[in-house]
Amino acid sequence: MQARLRLLFFLVSAAAVLLCGRRAEARQSASTPDPMVLDVPGFSEAYYYKPRRKARRPVILYLHGRGANAFEDCRKWARVARPYGWVVCPQGPSPTDSGGRTWNNDADTARRIVDATLAALREKYAGRVRLRGNILIGFSEGAFVAQQVGMRDPAHWNRWLILAANDQYWFGDAPQQLEKDRAKVRRVYLLSGENDQVAENTKRAGEMLKTARIPVKVKIAPGLGHEVPGDRMVATYRRPLRWLAAAR
């Protein structure tokens, strides 16, 4: 009898925790307005949120994973990143069968999209958008793009938050290029779930950055897989963003 009562108590408690988490996520989603739309000449429109302060602020640019919806991803990132500046979410160039977008593993095209997006934002809000010292975030396929774009353009993007980073995304002359970037890249934060198949690759990417003498933190998050649930984003990403934004 006692064993049955304990089992019933456990099931009820687990259901309550799950329900509370879903309600919290629903409340967050309902309280976050839709992102604004930014026309990007030559490419698909991007989504963005204005910063909470009107002074010139940095850009926090998020590069989505393969098959993701940039509109919805931008809503999620606005909850955690808006205090630090403009939250901007360009779209990959090609649609997928699922209705999302992909970067086609094409870092050159992605960089042109990133450049055009930043230029369009600066043209629309002259004097309010910082050109340098911005934060570049990439997840999964977007991590591949971000690792390439950040390495090739550290003048504009000198702080990186790479989610599901992979040392194999840096090839060819990447070690030499990272060494050249050392004076420009202020800080890099690599974060992957311990159950993500790229967790060991993330650690090796961190070692590459350390070898290049670039300030880096590596976090392998316990209990997480490839993607962070929406209701854990603020708790998971608040500290990395604060650390990156504090770089001088």
Give the start-to-end residue ranges of the domains of the chain: 1-31, 34-245
CA distances 128 to 50, 52, 154, 240, Å, are 10, 12, 21, 24
Write down the pLDDT at residue 14. Answer: 38
Tally the residues of the chain.
Answer: 248
Q: For the whole model, what pTM was predicted? A: 0.87
Per-residue b or e along 126-154, where b marks 16 or more CB atoms closer than 10 Å to that residue's CB: eebbbeebbbbbbbbbbbbbbbbbbbebb
Identify the three-state secondary structure at position 165. Answer: coil
**Calpha distance 89→3 (Å, rounded):** 51
**Calpha distance 226→230 (Å, rounded):** 13
pLDDT band at 3 (very low <50, low <70, confident <90, very high): very low
Higher pLDDT pick, 29 / 168: 168
**Overall CATH class of domain 34-245:** alpha beta
Q: What percent of the chain has pLDDT over 90?
A: 81
pLDDT at 27 over 90: no
Tell me the per-residue pLDDT of 78-113, one tens digit each, with 9 for 90 and over: 999 999 999 999 999 999 999 999 999 999 999 999
